[in-house]
C-alpha cells in the first residue's frame, strides 16, 4: 500500500509529547512490512527551533534537500515532508499550525495514495486534507490521540471548529482509531457510531529497553543520587498531567522519608512556573529535581534507576511513559484517568489510584518503597503485558487490517 500520514508534528519533535513518537514508530513498522510510507507534517521542533535548523544534527541516515521552506527527509525508509509553519511561536504556545504548503501538496499528490491516516483532530492540516480527500474520494482513517472532546480550554473555538468542519471530518472517516476504552467513549460522545471505532492501543519499541543493565546507575551517578529513593515523572509540563497532585502528595511523604527525592523531567508546556511556585510554597526545593527533559538513553537510564514511576494525570487518553517504565522493570503508579490503567489492572501490573486522592497515592508510594521485592514482582507482570500486547509488530498488523478494510 501507498500510505500517507498527516500529522502536525513529527520525528524528532519529541517536545510535543507522545503523538510524534507513536506515529514515527508506527511508520517505521509499516515500512518494515513492505509498505510505502509518506508523512506530511510541519517544521515544528520545539519552542525555539524548527526542523530545518536541527534536522541535520538530529536525523540518522537521512537525505536532505531544502526547497522553498520545505525540508525533505528520508528516515528509516519513511519519506518525510516538513512544511514551514507561518509562526513557530504560535505552533508551540497555542498548538495552531499554519502551513499553507501542505494544502498545495495534498491537492497535487493525494491521488497517488491508497489510504490516508490523519492524526490529531482539530488541525488546519486536517481541514486541508478533508477538502481533497472528499473531492478525490480517497478513504481515510483518523486517530484523534485524545483530542476528540472539548477539554482543557478553548471550548468556544473548539465548538466553532466542530460546527464548521469537525463533525464532517469524523463522519467521513472510514474508521476512527481509539487507543483505550476511555477514547472509545469520547468518540461516541462526539457522535461516532461504535461500529466505526477500532480499539488499537499505542505501542512502544521494546527493543529500546533490551539492555537497561548497561545504563543502570548512570542517572544516579550523574545527579549524585546514589543513596536516595527516586520517584520519577517524565512528561510535558502541562496542567493536565496532574503534577500539582504529585507535588502535594510528595510533600507529605518527604517529611517522613528524608532519603527520598522527586524527579520531574519534561519540556515546559506552559506550566513550569506554576510547578516552581508550588515547590517553593511546599518548601521542598531540596527534595525536587526539575529537569528540562530526558530523551533516548538518558531517559532510559533515569527510568531504570527510579524506584517508582508515577503518572498522576487529570486526563490521559493512554500513557506511553508508564509502559516504558514497565519495560525497564520499574514499578508504576497511574491515575484511573489514564487509558493504560485498565490494561494494568487486568494483570496486576501497576497500582491505580484516583486523581486527587492524596492518601491513596501516599499509601501506594510508601508500599512500593517499603516492599520493593513485591513491587518488582508487580512490575514483572507489567513487563509481560508490554511484550505481549504493546509491541509494534502486533499493533501494526492490526492497523494494516484496518487500512485494508477502509479502502477495499
User: What would the pLDDT profile of 89-121 be if each residue is shown by its tens digit?
Assistant: 899 888 899 999 999 999 999 999 999 999 999
> Which range has the worst mean pLDDT, 61-75, 116-130, 160-174?
61-75
> Which range has the worst mean pLDDT, 144-158, 261-275, 324-338?
144-158
pLDDT band at 69 (very low <50, low <70, confident <90, very high): low
- Classify burial at 54, counting beta carbons within 10 Å of its beta carbon; exposed 0-12, middle 13-18, buried 19 or more: middle
Closest of 32, 21, 39 to residue 397, by C-alpha: 32
Strand (E) or helix (H) holding 229: strand 229-234
**Alpha helices (H) along 95-234:** 100-109, 124-136, 155-161, 167-172, 181-189, 218-222
The residue that leads in pLDDT, 372 or 288, is 288
- pLDDT at position 363, please? 96
pLDDT band at 358 (very low <50, low <70, confident <90, very high): very high
pLDDT band at 31 (very low <50, low <70, confident <90, very high): very high
- pLDDT at position 73, please? 85
- pLDDT at position 210, please? 84
Percentage of the chain beyond pLDDT 90 is 67
- pLDDT at position 98, please? 93
Distance between CA 80 and CA 308 in Å, rounded? 37
Sign of CA dihedral 337, 158, 191, 197: negative
Is 39 in contact with 102 (CB distance < 8 Å)?
A: no
* Cα 251 → chain centroid: 28
Domains of the chain: 2-203+391-407 (3.40.50.2000), 206-389 (3.40.50.2000)
| Residue 60 scores a pLDDT above 60 | no
| Residue 61 scores a pLDDT above 60 | no
> Which range has the worst mean pLDDT, 5-9, 15-19, 363-367?
15-19
Q: Which residues lie closer than 8 Å to 216 by C-beta, 6 or more apart? A: 301, 304, 305
Closest of 392, 11, 16, 13 to residue 235, by C-alpha: 16
pLDDT band at 55 (very low <50, low <70, confident <90, very high): low
Is 153 in contact with 127 (CB distance < 8 Å)?
A: no
- pLDDT at position 54, please? 57
- pLDDT at position 80, please? 95
- pLDDT at position 119, please? 98
| Residue 281 scores a pLDDT above 90 | yes
Closest of 342, 349, 222, 242 to residue 291, by C-alpha: 222
Closest of 344, 212, 324 to residue 334, by C-alpha: 344
pTM for this predicted structure = 0.85
The residue that leads in pLDDT, 338 or 67, is 338
Whole-number average pLDDT of the chain: 90
> Which range has the worst mean pLDDT, 176-180, 379-383, 395-399?
379-383
- pLDDT at position 67, please? 40
Amino acid at each position: 500500500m501507498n500510505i500517507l500520514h498527516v500529522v502536525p508534528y513529527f520525528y524528532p519533535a519529541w517536545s510535543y509529547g507522545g503523538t510524534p513518537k507513536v506515529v514515527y514508530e508506527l511508520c517505521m513498522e509499516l515500512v518494515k512490512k513492505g509498505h510505502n510510507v509518506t508523512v506530511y507534517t510541519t517544521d515544528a521542533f520545539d519552542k525555539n527551533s524548527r526542523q530545518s535548523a536541527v534536522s541535520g544534527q538530529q536525523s540518522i541516515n537521512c537525505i536532505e534537500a531544502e526547497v522553498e521552506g520545505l525540508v525533505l527527509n528520508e528516515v528509516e525508509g519513511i519519506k518525510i515532508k516538513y512544511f514551514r509553519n507561518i509562526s513557530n511561536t504560535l505552533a508551540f504556545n497555542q498548538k495552531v499550525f499554519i502551513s499553507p504548503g501542505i494544502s498545495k501538496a495534498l491537492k497535487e499528490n493525494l491521488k497517488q495514495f491508497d489510504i490516508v491516516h490523519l492524526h490529531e483532530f482539530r488541525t488546519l492540516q486536517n481541514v486541508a486534507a478533508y477538502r481533497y480527500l472528499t473531492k478525490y474520494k480517497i478513504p481515510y482513517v483518523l486517530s484523534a490521540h485524545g483530542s476528540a472532546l472539548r477539554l482543557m480550554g478553548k471550548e468556544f473555538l473548539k465548538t466553532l471548529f466542530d460546527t464548521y468542519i469537525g463533525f464532517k471530518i469524523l463522519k467521513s472517516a472510514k474508521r476512527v482509531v481509539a487507543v483505550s476504552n476511555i477514547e472509545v467513549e469520547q468518540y461516541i460522545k462526539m457522535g461516532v457510531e461504535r461500529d466505526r471505532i477500532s480499539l488499537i492501543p499505542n505501542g512502544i519499541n521494546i527493543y529500546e529497553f533490551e539492555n537497561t543493565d548497561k545504563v543502570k546507575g548512570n542517572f544516579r551517578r550523574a545527579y549524585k543520587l546514589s543513596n536516595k529513593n527516586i520517584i520519577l515523572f517524565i512528561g510535558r509540563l502541562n496542567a493536565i498531567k496532574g503534577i500539582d497532585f504529585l507535588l502535594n502528595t510528595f510533600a507529605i511523604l518527604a517529611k517522613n522519608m528524608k532519603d527520598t527525592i522527586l524527579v520531574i523531567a519534561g519540556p515546559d508546556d506552559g506550566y513550569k512556573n506554576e510547578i516552581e511556585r508550588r515547590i517553593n510554597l511546599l518548601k521542598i526545593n531540596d527534595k525536587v529535581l526539575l529537569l528540562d527533559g530526558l530523551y533516548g538513553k538518558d531517559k532510559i537510564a533515569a527510568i531504570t534507576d527510579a524506584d517508582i514511576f508515577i503518572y498522576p494525570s487529570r486526563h490521559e487518553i493512554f500513557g506511553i511513559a508508564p509502559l516504558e517504565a514497565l519495560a525497564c522493570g520499574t514499578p508504576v503508579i497511574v491515575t484511573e484517568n489514564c487509558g493504560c490503567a485498565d490494561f494494568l489492572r487486568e494483570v496486576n501490573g501497576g497500582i491505580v489510584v484516583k486523581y486527587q486522592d492524596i492518601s491513596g497515592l501516599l499509601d501506594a508510594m510508601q508500599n512500593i518503597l517499603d516492599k520493593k521485592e513485591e513491587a518488582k514482582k508487580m512490575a514483572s507482570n507489567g513487563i509481560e503485558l508490554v511484550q505481549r500486547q504493546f509491541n509494534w509488530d502486533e499493533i501494526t498488523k492490526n492497523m494494516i487490517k484496518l487500512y485494508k478494510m477502509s479502502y477495499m
